[in-house]
Structure 1
Amino acid sequence: MGKGMRSARNVLGPCRRPFRALAAVATAAAVCLALPLADARADEPGETVVGELVQAWPEAGLEGESAHAGTEHAEQPLTWVETEGGAAVHVPTGAVEDLPVGATVQVTVGNAPAGEDGAAPVHEVLDAALVESAPVPRPARSAPLTNEVTVALVVPAGGSRDGTTLPEMVAAVDGPVAEFWAEQTDGAIRVGVTAAHDWLTTDAGCTEPSALWEEVATRVGFVPAPGRHLALYVSSLPRDLPGCSYALGQIGGSPAAGGRLYVREVLPSVIAHELGHNFGLGHSSGHQCDGTVEAGACRTAPYRDYYDVMGISWGQVGTLNAPQAALLGTLPAAAQQAVSAPGTTTVTLAPLAGRDGTRALRLTGPDGATYWLEYRSAAGRDGWLGSPANRYGLQDGVLLRRTAGLPDTALLLDGTPTAAAGWDADLQAALPVGAPVTLAGGQVTVTVDAVLPAGATVTVTTTAAAPVPAPRGDAQRPAVLPGAPTAPAAGQPAAPGPAEPPVAAPAPDAAPTPDAAVPATPAPSASPVATVARTSATGAWTVPALGAAGVALAGVAWQTGSRRRTADTGA
C-alpha cells in the first residue's frame, strides 16, 4: 500500500466506523472526516509547500450514518500536500486536478478560511507545479534474478557508524535500482538482494579496497561468481576518511560478470551507477570544444552528462543513453538504425524513454568513429525534463553522443557550443532545429528538421563510406584504465597521481561549478580533435582476477566514483 493510502488511513482514524463504498462523493466541507494531521505552517499568503499530493475518498458509515445529516456522498475527494515530516496542507481538489496523485508537487498557497465543524482549513492555491512524478509500482518478480546482490553495512578502519539502516540499503537496491535496470534492459538484467548483513567493523580500511572487500566477503560468506555482486555501504563518517571515495565499483566485462562495489550514500543513482561499472560501462561524460561541436581545442569533463545514470549522480535517473545501452547489448536492433553509406537519410526518432520505434540513429564517420543521435522528450522516465525537478535547465530535444573507450564510454557533445570561456556554465547540449551541424571533419552533416512530442525528424548527409560497427559499439575494455600508472603489486594502490577533485555541488540558483581545469595535453581521439584536456585524473587499482570453483571473472579495474551529491539532494 502506498504512502498516500497510509496517510488516508491515519487521517480517517478519529471518525473510524464501519464503512461501505459509495458511488459518488459529497463536498469535502460537508463530511465528518476532518483530517487531524498537523497542518503545515502555511499561515502567510504566498508560502510555498513541497510534498506528496495525497487524495482520499471520504466514506459514509453503514446505512448512510454520518455526522452531517443528509450527506450520502462526497462530490470529490479530500486533497492535501503532505510534507516529508508528515504535516498536511489542505487544498481544493479542483485547483490541482492536473497534477497526478502520489507525485511530489510544489504548491504556493494563500489564505485559508476556517474549516466547517472542525475540518481542516482548505488553502487557496496561487500556483502549483509538478516536482517529481510518482514512483512506478514495482511488479512482482516473475523470473529468476540475473544479478544477485549481497548487501553489507561496513565501518572500515578509522571510521564510525552513521545512521543508515540495512532496510534502507536493501530497499534502494530492490526498489528503484532494480526497477531501473530491468526497465532499461527490457528485463535482460534483473537485480535483487539475496543476502543482507548489518553493520560490520573491519580491520581493513578504504586505502586497500580489495582488502576491504575480501574481509567482508570472508565474514559474510560471499563467494564471487558470475552474476554475483558484493555491494557495501561504507559509513559516511568521517567524510574525509583516508582512502575512501564517494563510491567505488569494479569494471566488469559484461552484465553477467558480477563484481564488487561500495557507496557512501544510499542514493539510487549512485548504486545504479556503480552496478553499471560492474556491468562493463564506463562514464558518460561531456565533450566540449571551443566554439565548435568537436574540432579544435576541446576538453572531456568527467561525469558531465546529467541525463545519464553513468554521468553525474543526482536526484534524477534518466533513460540510459543509446551508446551505453548498445555497449551492454540491450539496445534492440529494431530500435536503432545505422547510417554510413554516402547519401541523405531522413529518420524520425521516437522518444528514447519509450520502448517502440527507432530510438537511436547510429552514424559512422570515415575514420570509424561512432556517433549516436537520440531524442529526449519530457515523458516517461525523462518526464522530469518538463518539471521543476529539472533544476539545471537541461533541454529536451535531439542529443548527439560519441562512443569512446574507458573511462568514458559515452561522450555527450555540445550541439550549441560556446567559446571555452563559457564552458563551465553551459549545460545546453541539444542540437538546434533547422541548423546543420557538421561532424567527422565535415563529411557528416546532421540537421534536426522538427521536434514534436511524438518524435523528432532528423536528416543525415554523408559524403564518404565507412564500415558499420557491430551494434554493441566500438568501446574497448582495457584491464587497467587508460592513463593509469604501471600496475603495482596486487591489492596495493597505484602510484601516486593527481587526486580527482569532486564534482562541485552547484548553488540552488546557479549553474553547476565544474571541476578545476588542468592544462591541455595532446591525446588520441576517434574524431578530428586537436587538443583534449581532461578536467580530472582517474585513479585505478589492479587486483587479482576474481574466481570461484575455477571460474575466472572478467574485470580487474576498479573505477573510482568521485561524484558528489548535488545541491538539490541536500549535500
Structure 2
Amino acid sequence: MRVDTSFGNTCDSAGRRRTSSNVRPSRANFSSSASSRSSCSGWGSKRDVAKVTQGNSLGRRPGRRPLHGYAHGVRRLVLALVAAAALAGPPAAPAIEGQLRTVLIPVTWGPQPLTDAQVRGLADGAASFLHTASFGRLTVVTDTTPWLHAFDAPPTCTNIRSIRDAAGAAASATGIDLPGYNRRVYLLPYDVASCQLLGTFALTVGRDILVVGRFRAETIAHELGHSFGLGHARRELCTSTCTLDEYGDPRDAMANAAGDFNPLEKSLAGWLPAPTPLAEAGDFVVDQFEVPSTLPQALVVSTAAGEYWIDHREPLGNDAALTGPAVDGIEVRLRAEPVLSAALTLTPSTLVSDRQDRTAGVVLPGASFVAPGAFQLDVLDHVDTHVGIRFRWLDRTAPRQVQIARPRATRGIVHLSWRASPDSGSGVFRYEVSLDGRRTGSTSAKALDVTTRTGPHVVAIVAVDRAGNRSRSASRRFIVG
C-alpha cells in the first residue's frame, strides 16, 4: 500500500490557446453497482533620516460546436463547532494518492434501514467517484460490516464524542482493527426525536466520518473530501443585497450536488496540474476538467480580492449527467480563506459567476464576467470540449505609496522593510527597490536585504500592481555607521 500525505501539484504547459486536446471520456458515476475503486514597526516619513549602526541588535484556440444536483438539508455548521470543541486535535494526514483504506460500519440501537448490499453500494459508489475525480490516482479500498448494536437508545445528535466512542467500541468489540484504516465511516439511522434540530446530516472529524440518515454515495465522497482538506463549494447570489449560500454550488459534490469536484478542489488534492495564470491581456482556452487533457483545465486570475478560478464542465466522467447551459459556458469562483472546522483546516470556494442566477451559474458564449475595478473575461465560443476566453485588466488605479520602515543593519547587511501598499483592484504584484538611484532588486515580499558600504544612503521603493500601474516612489534616507 502506498499512501501520499502531501497536497503536491505538478506543472502543466502554458495556457495560451492551442490546437489539440487529449480527451478520454469516462462514464463512472455514483451508481451503487460501481466497482470498488477510487482516490508577514517602526514606520516613519520617507524624508526621515535614520542612523543605522551595524551590530547584532538589530493555450491558443481551435474551432466550434453546438450549444447545448443531494439536497443536504444539513445544519452542519453548528454541529461542526460542537465537534471541534469536543474533539480538538490534529487532523489526520490524508492519503491523496495510492490506496485509501476505509471501512463503513453501520451502527444502531435497533433499526437497520440499509441492507448489506446497499451498504456495499454506498462504498462502491463513493470509491468510483473518487477514482474518476482523481484521474485514477486514488483508489479507495473499502471494507463493510453488518449492522452493529452500539446504543441502547437513539443517541443525542449533538453529542458527537459519545456517538463516536460508542460506535468505535462496538466495532472494536468485533475485532475490527480501527487504527489500521485511513478513514472510518459510521452509518447511523435517523431518529426524528433525537435529531430534530439537525435533521439528517454528515460530519467529518479527523479520520472519522459520521453519517446520520444521509445514505448516499455522494455524501460519503463529500465527507472524504473534507478529510482531504476540501471546504464547501459555496455560491454568492445577489438581488438588492448579496448572500452567501454555504452549500450553493448547483453542481459540485462539495456542495449539495453530485457533480465532480471543481479544479480548485482537485488542485488542493494534488490531482490536477497547476492552473494557468492570466497575467497579460489575450485570448485563452480552458478545457473540461473531468478527464485528463493536454490543454489547460483551469485558469487563475490573482487580484487584491483573491484568486479567481475559471473552469468549464462537460458531460464526462462524474459530470456525465449534466446537460444544458451548465456544460456550455464557464464557471468563475473565488478561493476562500481556509477555515478551521472540526479539527480540520478546510479551503472553501465561492461560485461568483451568474450572481443573479439567470444562466445556471455559468457565463455563456457572448457574455462577460466582470470583477469591478480588476478584470474582465469575455466568453468567445464553445468548441469541442473547451471554451475560448478573452482576458483584459480593467484596473487603471495606481497603488498607494508605500511607507518605509527604519532600516536596520546586521553584520554588513541592511534590512529594508515596508508596509504593504493598499490596492483594491488587481493587487500589488511586486515592489521595485532602488538604492542611491540604482535598481537593487524586485520582490513580492515586504522586505529585502541589501549589502552596502558605510555612509549615507537613500532607498526608494515603487509598488507595481498586476495590471502594470505604478505607485509614486517612496524614499527614505539612512546612514550606515
The verdict on a shared fold, with TM-score over 0.5 as the criterion, is: yes
Q: Is the 8 A contact 2:103 2:181 kept in 1?
A: no
Q: 1:209 aligns with which of 160, 164, 171?
A: 160
What is the distance in 2 between the residues matched to 1:374 and 1:166?
A: 39
Deviation string 1:346-405 (CA, Å, 9 cap, x unpaired) is 21111222210211111111x15011111112334323123xxx8xx7554211111113
Deviation at residue 431 of structure 1 after TM alignment: 0.7
Please show how residues 463-502 of structure 1 align to structure 2 within 5 Å.
none
The residue type paired with residue 269 of structure 2 is: L
Deviation string 1:276-297 (CA, Å, 9 cap, x unpaired) is 1222211111112338xxxxx3
Q: 1:364 aligns with which of 298, 302, 314?
A: 302
When residues 337 and 277 of structure 1 are mapped into structure 2, their CA distance, relative to the original with a 3 A threshold, is same
User: Identity of aligned pairs, percent?
Assistant: 19
The residue type paired with residue 455 of structure 1 is: H
Q: Which structure has the highest strand share of the two? A: 2
Matched, 1:232 2:186: yes
When residues 360 and 167 of structure 1 are mapped into structure 2, their CA distance, relative to the original with a 3 A threshold, is same
Q: Is the 8 A contact 2:369 2:378 kept in 1?
A: yes
What is the distance in 2 between the residues matched to 1:241 and 1:137?
A: 31
- Secondary structure of the residue aligned to 1:212 is helix
Deviation at residue 240 of structure 1 after TM alignment: 6.1
The residue type paired with residue 138 of structure 1 is: S
Q: Is the 8 A contact 1:378 1:396 kept in 2?
A: no
Q: Is the 8 A contact 1:151 1:197 kept in 2?
A: no
Deviation at residue 408 of structure 1 after TM alignment: 7.0
What is the distance in 1 between the residues matched to 2:231 and 2:144?
A: 27
Q: 2:378 aligns with which of 447, 450, 453?
A: 447
What is the distance in 1 between the residues matched to 2:318 and 2:38?
A: 20
Q: Is the 8 A contact 1:148 1:227 kept in 2?
A: yes
Matched, 1:304 2:248: yes
Deviation at residue 312 of structure 1 after TM alignment: 0.6
Equivalent residue number for residue 459 of structure 1 = 390
Deviation string 1:73-93 (CA, Å, 9 cap, x unpaired) is xxxxxxxxxxxxxxxxxxxxx
Deviation at residue 146 of structure 1 after TM alignment: 2.7
Deviation at residue 463 of structure 1 after TM alignment: 5.4
Equivalent residue number for residue 282 of structure 1 = 231
Q: Is the 8 A contact 1:403 1:410 kept in 2?
A: yes
What is the distance in 2 between the residues matched to 1:190 and 1:306?
A: 26
Q: 1:176 aligns with which of 125, 150, 155?
A: 125
- Secondary structure of the residue aligned to 2:219 is helix
- Secondary structure of the residue aligned to 1:432 is coil
What is the distance in 1 between the residues matched to 2:262 and 2:314?
A: 13
Equivalent residue number for residue 247 of structure 1 = 201
Equivalent residue number for residue 290 of structure 2 = 353
Please show how residues 64-463 of structure 1 align to structure 2 within 5 Å.
138=35, 146-155=99-108, 160-173=110-123, 175-203=124-152, 204-221=155-172, 225=179, 228-238=182-192, 241-242=195-196, 245-250=199-204, 252=206, 258-290=207-239, 297-313=241-257, 317-333=258-274, 336-339=275-278, 341=279, 343-356=280-293, 357-365=295-303, 367=304, 369-386=306-323, 394=326, 396-405=328-337, 406=339, 409-415=348-354, 417-418=355-356, 428-439=360-371, 441-462=372-393
Deviation at residue 205 of structure 1 after TM alignment: 3.5
Q: Is the 8 A contact 1:281 1:409 kept in 2?
A: yes
Q: Is the 8 A contact 1:446 1:460 kept in 2?
A: yes
Q: Is the 8 A contact 2:284 2:389 kept in 1?
A: yes
What is the distance in 1 between the residues matched to 2:301 and 2:180?
A: 33
When residues 371 and 176 of structure 1 are mapped into structure 2, their CA distance, relative to the original with a 3 A threshold, is same
What is the distance in 2 between the residues matched to 1:259 and 1:527?
A: 41
Runs of 5+ consecutive residues of structure 2 not aligned to the other structure: 1-26, 40-96, 340-345, 397-422, 426-481
Deviation at residue 324 of structure 1 after TM alignment: 1.4
Deviation string 1:491-513 (CA, Å, 9 cap, x unpaired) is xxxxxxxxxxxxxxxxxxxxxxx
Aligned residues: 303
Q: Is the 8 A contact 1:287 1:301 kept in 2?
A: yes
Deviation string 1:527-566 (CA, Å, 9 cap, x unpaired) is 89xxxxxxxxxxxxxxxxxxxxxxxxxxxxxxxxxxxxxx
Q: Is the 8 A contact 2:30 2:218 kept in 1?
A: no
What is the distance in 1 between the residues matched to 2:30 and 2:254?
A: 21
What is the distance in 1 between the residues matched to 2:322 and 2:136?
A: 25
Deviation at residue 323 of structure 1 after TM alignment: 1.5
Q: Is the 8 A contact 2:378 2:390 kept in 1?
A: yes
The residue type paired with residue 267 of structure 1 is: R
Q: Is the 8 A contact 2:328 2:364 kept in 1?
A: no
When residues 442 and 225 of structure 1 are mapped into structure 2, their CA distance, relative to the original with a 3 A threshold, is farther
Deviation string 1:449-490 (CA, Å, 9 cap, x unpaired) is 11123311111113569xxxxxxxxxxxxxxxxxxxxxxxxx
When residues 319 and 242 of structure 1 are mapped into structure 2, their CA distance, relative to the original with a 3 A threshold, is closer
What is the distance in 1 between the residues matched to 2:292 and 2:30?
A: 19
* Aligned-CA RMSD value: 3.5
What is the distance in 2 between the residues matched to 1:164 and 1:151?
A: 12
- Secondary structure of the residue aligned to 1:385 is coil
What is the distance in 2 between the residues matched to 1:463 and 1:141?
A: 43
Runs of 5+ consecutive residues of structure 1 not aligned to the other structure: 1-102, 104-131, 253-257, 292-296, 466-525, 529-571
TM-score by length of 1: 0.47
What is the distance in 2 between the residues matched to 1:236 and 1:134?
A: 23
Q: Is the 8 A contact 2:290 2:318 kept in 1?
A: yes
What is the distance in 1 between the residues matched to 2:200 and 2:237?
A: 25
